[in-house]
């Protein structure tokens, strides 16, 4: 709109527009310079308390390694490391002086015992001690080809295979009446709604447990969810608009978007599995794997729903598309497991989980619009209401397995 308005005015008034945009900005700069320069005394209120966060603890051969980040408002110097509140000699790499948000690796030579709990403490220059508790010590995963393959197999088992199985319901969905079809679409909405809420909950949990307060975990999650949502919404709309003129049919475009959304979500699941194996909670990750696998068959149904509407596709092209979508939706679990297992970082986990949640919500909006276009304008038909409710319930019940 500004562009059109600009074109309508002359050169001089164009200058005025620029000036009127720049002048307030210049005042903002002056204001900031004042507060950091001559007005610095204004900010000199109270005592700034230092804070560090032990983001990660790795157990390797005869050594415990803690990744420490300065998450407070002022620089700190790492002075002492301890294990179970007993002071130990240690090395800090690259050095013990940490500016805001800077990290260091604290290496504590220690003959630790597998499966025992440990509390790792770091004391800084003002004598404040910060601690992180590890429930059960286990060897940090090393990057070996065996493990890479192991995670790929698990990712396939959790991501690709269940989604493919879910897609096998396509012929069934195809043969049913319109209201039953709406039911399945609504079921998908219910399933996805559950997954979206689940991802947000997980993101907030990870940030509460592992991220410092200064990262503003909940707002970080909210921001990334919204950006992910509107970004994908914009891109998805472009895809559907183009679908009319390209080879892609609208149902295929919608199915593709659902597959992408679910793929982003499964990446988060892969991270959770990788991290669980990495943190040594092997039994827990077995449950996680079985639970996710069952859970994810329902995701195949979500993709199959809109695809079943496309009667123009040849059998061969349909099968290729199903396999393609299955891979798009399922294979990110493999990448997630690699990253979660080999280089787990709570910050990136929160980001990925939030992106997944945003993607899911975007898919929900698209499916609901599809149902409305198909005829149920108010989304109040019994099949839609029942579908969403049953979708949520199914997910809740399968999630108990995780």
**Which span sits near another protein by CB under 8 A: 38-46, 74-82, 164-172, 293-301?**
74-82
Between CA 402 and CA 399 the distance in angstroms is 5
Interface pick for another protein out of 37, 38, 46, 89 (rule CB under 8 A): 89
Q: How far is CA 80 from the centre of its chain?
A: 35
- Least Å distance, CB 222 to another protein, is 15
Region 234-253 residues binding another protein, contact defined as CB under 8 A: 234-235
Please identify, using beta-carbon distances, which residue of 26 and 230 lies nearer to another protein.
230
Under the binding rule (CB under 8 A), the answer on residue 62 touching another protein is yes
Cis peptide before 94 (omega within 30 of 0): yes
Q: Is 85 in the site for another protein (CB under 8 A)?
A: yes
Judged by CB under 8 A, the residue of 17, 79, 197, 294 near another protein is 79
Within positions 161 to 200, which residues make up the interface with another protein, using CB under 8 A?
Answer: none
Smallest distance from another protein to CB 254, Å: 16
Query: What value, to the nearest 5°, has the Cα angle with vertex 248 and ends 246 and 254?
Result: 130
Is residue 92 involved in binding another protein (CB under 8 A)?
Answer: yes
Stretch that binds another protein, among 10-18, 76-84, 189-197, 329-337 (CB under 8 A): 76-84
User: What are the DSSP calls for 51-88, one per residue?
Assistant: -EEEEEEEEETTEEEEEEEE-SSS-EEEEEEEETTEEE
What is the end-to-end Cα distance of the chain in Å, rounded? Answer: 51
Containing 29, the helix (H) or strand (E) segment is: helix 11-36
The answer to whether the beta carbons of residues 381 and 252 sit under 8 Å apart is no
Q: How near is the Cβ of 111 to another protein at its closest, in Å?
A: 7
Backbone angles phi, psi at 203, to 5 degrees: -60, -45
**Closest approach of another protein to the CB of residue 193, in Å:** 22
Q: What is the spatial distance between Cα 279 and Cα 70, in angstroms, rounded to a whole number?
A: 23
Q: Name the CA radius of gyration of the chain, rounded.
A: 26
Determine, following the binding rule CB under 8 A, whether residue 214 of this chain makes contact with another protein: no
CA 382 from chain centre, in angstroms, equals 33
Among 156, 214, 231, 379, binds another protein (CB under 8 A): 231
Residues in contact with another protein by the rule CB under 8 A: 55, 62, 67, 69, 77-81, 85-99, 101-105, 107, 109, 111, 123, 125-129, 227-228, 231-232, 234-235, 339, 343, 345, 347-348, 351-352, 355
């Amino acid at each position: 709109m500004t562009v059109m308005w600009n074109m309508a005015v002359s050169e001089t008034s164009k200058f005025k527009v620029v000036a009127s945009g720049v002048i307030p900005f210049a005042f903002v700069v002056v204001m900031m310079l004042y507060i950091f320069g001559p007005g610095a005394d204004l900010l000199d209120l109270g005592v700034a308390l230092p804070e560090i966060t032990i983001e990660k603890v790795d157990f390797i051969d005869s050594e415990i390694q803690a990744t420490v980040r300065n998450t407070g408002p002022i620089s700190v110097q790492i002075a002492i490391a301890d294990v179970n509140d007993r002071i130990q000699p240690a090395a800090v790499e690259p050095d013990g002086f940490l500016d805001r948000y800077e990290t260091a690796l604290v290496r504590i030579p220690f003959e630790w015992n597998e499966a025992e709990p440990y509390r790792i403490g770091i004391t800084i220059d003002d004598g404040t001690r910060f601690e992180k508790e590890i429930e059960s010590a286990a060897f940090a995963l090393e990057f070996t080809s065996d493990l890479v393959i192991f995670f790929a197999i698990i990712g396939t088992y959790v991501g690709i295979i269940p989604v493919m199985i879910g897609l096998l319901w396509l012929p069934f969905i195809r043969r049913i009446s319109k209201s039953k079809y709406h039911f399945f679409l609504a079921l998908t909405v219910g399933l996805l709604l559950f997954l979206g809420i689940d991802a947000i909950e997980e993101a907030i949990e990870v940030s509460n447990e592992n991220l410092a307060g200064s990262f503003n975990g909940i707002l970080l999650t909210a921001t990334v969810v919204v950006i992910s949502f509107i970004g994908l919404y914009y891109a998805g709309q472009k895809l559907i608009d183009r679908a009319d003129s390209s080879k892609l049919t609208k149902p295929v475009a919608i199915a593709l978007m659902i597959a992408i959304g679910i793929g982003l979500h499964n990446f988060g699941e892969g991270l959770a599995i990788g991290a669980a194996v990495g943190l040594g909670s092997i039994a827990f990750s077995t449950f996680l794997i079985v639970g996710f696998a069952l859970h994810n068959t329902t995701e195949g149904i979500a993709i199959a729903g809109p695809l079943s509407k496309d009667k123009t596709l040849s059998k061969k092209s349909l099968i290729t598309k199903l396999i393609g979508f299955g891979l798009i939706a399922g294979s990110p679990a493999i990448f997630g497991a690699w990253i979660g297992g080999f280089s787990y970082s709570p910050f990136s986990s929160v980001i990925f989980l939030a992106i997944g949640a945003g993607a899911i919500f975007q898919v929900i909006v698209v499916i609901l619009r599809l149902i409305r276009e198909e005829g149920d304008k108010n989304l109040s038909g019994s099949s839609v209401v029942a579908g969403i409710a049953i979708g949520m319930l199914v997910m809740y019940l399968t999630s108990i397995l995780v």
